Structure 1
Amino acid sequence: MLAVESIVDFNQTSLLVSLLFIAFNPVAWNIVAQNEYRNKTITRLFGGNARYGCYFLAVMIFSFGMFRDSLYHRALLDQPQHAILPAPLKTIAPAVLFLVGQVFVVTSTWALGVTGTFLGDYFGILMDHRVEGFPFNVLRDPMYVGSTMSFAATALWLERPLGLFITVYVYIVYILALRYEGPFTDMIYSKREESRAKKA
């Protein structure tokens, strides 16, 4: 059994920065998106063009996501290294985990499109119907699950046990974010259906 001090170096600032940024991203985008739904702040910045506003937010979310990943990678490199899996699993398992995770992320984005992936419904860009094909017929939130799998794969590949604990933290953050994101999105589509029913 590894002692705590042998798997985590609390003196590394990169660890705290990574943890803060992992939490910042979903919280920030939920706040920004809900503000957009109520006040159309970003849409107004683009002269009333909701689609341009959504594309702008998509670039911001993607860029901050890449930055978050780089901070996580940096934080892991600053932490103690220990063998987690025996050879050849120590290379095969993280590679497969990362590949499957990325398949979930990429196919989710493909199925939803840019506006469906990057909170277009908060801009009033609603999908005609719920996406039920792969990977949504396998997982309810494949993008979040795929992202979490990639965090775990990185920890296993770099042989940083702390990364597996951070992965659990990532998943908890996603679950909490979904508690706000899911019901709010459902409310948006419910209002559309009510509006359609009144016009019928």
Structure 2
Amino acid sequence: MEHITAFLTSVINVLFFKGTSIPLPSFMHSAAEFVTDVLTSDYFPLHIPYVDLYDHNLALAIIATALPPLVWNIIGPLEYYTKIPSRLSIRPIIGVYLSGAIIAALSVLRSALFIVAIRGQEKLSYFDTSMFHATGGFLAVWGVSMFLGAYYRLGIRGTYLGDYFGFLMDHKISAFPFSICNNPMYDGSSLMHLAEAIMERSPTGILLSLWLFFCYRFGCVLEEPFTSKLYAERDAQREAERLQKLAETKTS
């Protein structure tokens, strides 16, 4: 319990104050050391100005950014093929909320480690102008609008793997922000991190924002075909039921 309290306190301190560290399990640090070794090896083709590739916190942020899409692309198919998550949680709806809690917690951790990483890296005075401040503010407002708008349209079930647990939506959502792009929650989150990077004058933050965007896009490559399959199966089942009822009506 003390470890959990210390972890939550450190995350809050980073997100809302000026904290610079978060206690993490040893496997995260081991993975970060591996990422650092890769980034600083002679085989890594890029030398990135203003970015310290030896920074351990940068490696932690890279790993934490990839975790949420990876986790939901594991939990979703696992539920569809085996029903293990819903069995462990007794009921499918509880599985949705537990999955949502895990994904949300990982997302908060990602954002906190993002902030820790950019606070320890070099800042560009070139970004300290009214134009960049205004750009960062605009991107933040736009990103938050897209993120919260998508959350409002989807609800908890639609946001956190509800379709994998059998809670499919009746119709495709086309209202804002889905009228702007197909994945407003992902794009909104990326814009929010980019805005933070610009306002913090951090080249490292900009690169991490691009990495976040890439992770979301890669997650979509895995997620969208599977989601389309779920709805195609639901539509086929509805059509079969409609034809069966029609046949029963004719025979009667």
TM-score by shorter chain over 0.5: yes
**One-letter identity of the residue aligned with 2:212:** V
Residue 123 of structure 1, aligned match among 150, 165, 175: 165
- 1:107-143 deviations in Å (ceiling 9; x for gaps): 1000011100111000011111111111101111111
Task: Give distance in 2, aligned partners of 1:111 and 1:55.
Answer: 17
Does residue 106 of the first structure (1) align with residue 140 of the second (2)?
no
- Write the mapping of 1:49-60 to structure 2, written as runs, cut at 5 A: 49-60=91-102
- 1:72-129 deviations in Å (ceiling 9; x for gaps): 0000111111124352123222111111101100010000111001110000111111
Tell me, yes or no, if the aligned pair for 1:84 and 1:161 is still in contact at 8 Å: no
**One-letter identity of the residue aligned with 2:159:** T
Task: Give distance in 2, aligned partners of 1:95 and 1:65.
Answer: 21
Which residue pairs with 2:85 in the alignment?
42
TM-score by length of 2: 0.75
Shift of 1:6: 5.0
SS at match of 2:178: coil
SS at match of 2:118: helix
Give aligned-pair identity as a percent: 29
Give the 4+ runs in structure 1 shifted more than 4 A. Answer: none
Task: Give distance in 1, aligned partners of 2:49 and 2:222.
Answer: 37
TM-score by length of 1: 0.93
Does residue 23 of the first structure (1) align with residue 75 of the second (2)?
no
Residue 229 of structure 2, aligned match among 167, 179, 187: 187
The higher-RCO structure (CA 8 Å, 6+ apart) is 1
Residue 160 of structure 1, aligned match among 179, 182, 202: 202
SS at match of 1:125: coil
Structure 2 regions of 5+ residues with no counterpart? 1-46, 243-252
Which residue pairs with 1:9 in the alignment?
52
Structure 1 regions of 5+ residues with no counterpart? none
Which residue pairs with 1:61 in the alignment?
103
Structure 1 84/167 Cα, relative in aligned 2: closer, same or farther at 3 Å? farther
Which residue pairs with 2:33 in the alignment?
none
Residue 176 of structure 2, aligned match among 134, 137, 140: 134
